[in-house]
Amino acid sequence: MKIEGRIWKFGSDVDTDAIIPARYLNQSDAKELAKHAMEDERPEFSQKVKKGDILLAEKNFGCGSSREHAPLALKAVGISCIIAKSFARIFYRNGLNLGLPLLESSEASEAIHEGDRVRVNLTTGEIFDLTQKKKFFAKPIPAFMQDLIKDGGLIRHLRKKRLKGNR
């Protein structure tokens, strides 16, 4: 599985309230949430992000509350992958459950710049900065998790397996 997109870079300890402010948690429609993704951090984000763009962050991305709204808003706004030094564990699991690929790479987080074009290979963990012509690595996403991502998340994956008669 390969993903290619432009980088949006954020710092450390970006919490779920920064990703999707609490004032919007009274709704669960992904398209509505997408309009407000990162609104307080970068007001232009939801208007300028393009489908397939990649979010890059420093450490502890997605800390704070366990709201699923945060990875849902990022996926709905068009983010195809998130690379960070580290993730808050609940955000990490919520992201994968929603079919949003998440990779941890300290080197990529430090060296890649805002606006760079990057190609990510989820099978090998290779992160190639097309702008700088530099290669970085993250732990590859296991094959069973890649299937979950391809299927659009945990619920869709389980429904697909059930339809195939695999229980």
pLDDT at 166: 56
pTM for this predicted structure? 0.91
d(CA 51, CA 53) in angstroms, rounded, equals 6
The position carrying tokens 């659009």 is 152
φ, ψ of residue 81 in degrees (nearest 5): -165, 150
Residue 135: Cβ within 10 Å count? 12
Per-residue pLDDT tens digits for 119-167: 999 999 999 999 999 999 998 988 888 888 888 888 888 888 777 765 5
Domains present along the chain, CATH in parentheses: 2-140 (3.20.19.10)
